Amino acid sequence: MKLTKHAHACVTLEKDGTRLVIDPGTFTPDAAAAVARAHAVLITHEHFDHFDSALVAAALEAQPDLHVYGTAAVAATLGGRGGRVHAVAAGDTVTVGSLTATVHGHRHALIHADLPCPDNVGYLLDDGALYHPGDAYFAPGAPVRTLLLPTSGPWTKLGEAADYVRAVGPERVIQIHELMLSDLGQRSTATILGEEGLTGTPIDRLAPGVTVQL
């Protein structure tokens, strides 16, 4: 399976001709181009930086074979679209072509008690090859080889991120959700959390557009 990193929380996954896009939000400049090449879109939760609702709705109109999977709130926003929009929750399995994802977790990480805390699901791809947690430090309770780790946002904390990586126990970590950190902040975070830091696990910073083999 190949992973292409896009800005912020969006990634494209490809295996044997099947392409999935996860979390094409408004902070991702090339989200429309990524979705245009996808067979399916997976959304972790309804926040705009993960789910550009107008973009995804337009893609559903333009691409008659496109399917979208997300929380009940995401599905309600898009409507049924002839059975091509699917609400998913923890315990579900999504299969698109040669790629399979299991669904994990329930809620977005708490930002503040005064703010709504929406549903949030994570996707475990290809028998543990990759886990995208959305906006939550939820351990899927299954082996994970590569963990996509959110490192900036109003809910993130370095100490909790370190404990999360330790709980998941991946072989490799790739930073996502990084746009609220400067370059210095991203490098500092990678040092604190990485192989020589709190987790002992290699942590990669991938520039948007870079593709790696998983």
Q: How confident is the prediction for the chain on average, in pLDDT? A: 97
Convert the pLDDT of each residue in 15-68 to its tens digit: 999 999 999 999 999 999 999 999 999 999 999 999 999 999 999 999 999 999
- Residues in a beta bridge with 124: 102, 131
Residue the block writes with tokens 């370095």: 158
Q: What is the pLDDT of residue 98?
A: 97
Q: Give which of 158, 160, 159, 130 is closest to 142, Cα–Cα.
A: 130
Convert the pLDDT of each residue in 54-90 to its tens digit: 999 999 999 999 999 999 999 999 998 999 999 999 9
Q: What is the pLDDT of residue 80?
A: 84
Q: Give which of 30, 20, 32 is closest to 58, Cα–Cα.
A: 32
Convert the pLDDT of each residue in 139-176 to its tens digit: 999 999 999 999 999 999 999 999 999 999 999 999 99
Mean pLDDT over residues 107-123, rounded?
97
> What is the Cα–Cα distance from 33 to 214, expressed in whole angstroms?
22
For 154, counting Cβ atoms within 10 Å of its Cβ (0-12 exposed, 13-18 middle, 19+ buried), the class is exposed
81: region left, alpha or beta (phi > 0 left; psi from -120 to 50 alpha): left
Q: Is the pTM of this model over 0.95?
A: yes
CA 103 centroid distance within chain: 12
Convert the pLDDT of each residue in 85-113 to its tens digit: 999 999 999 999 999 999 999 999 999 99
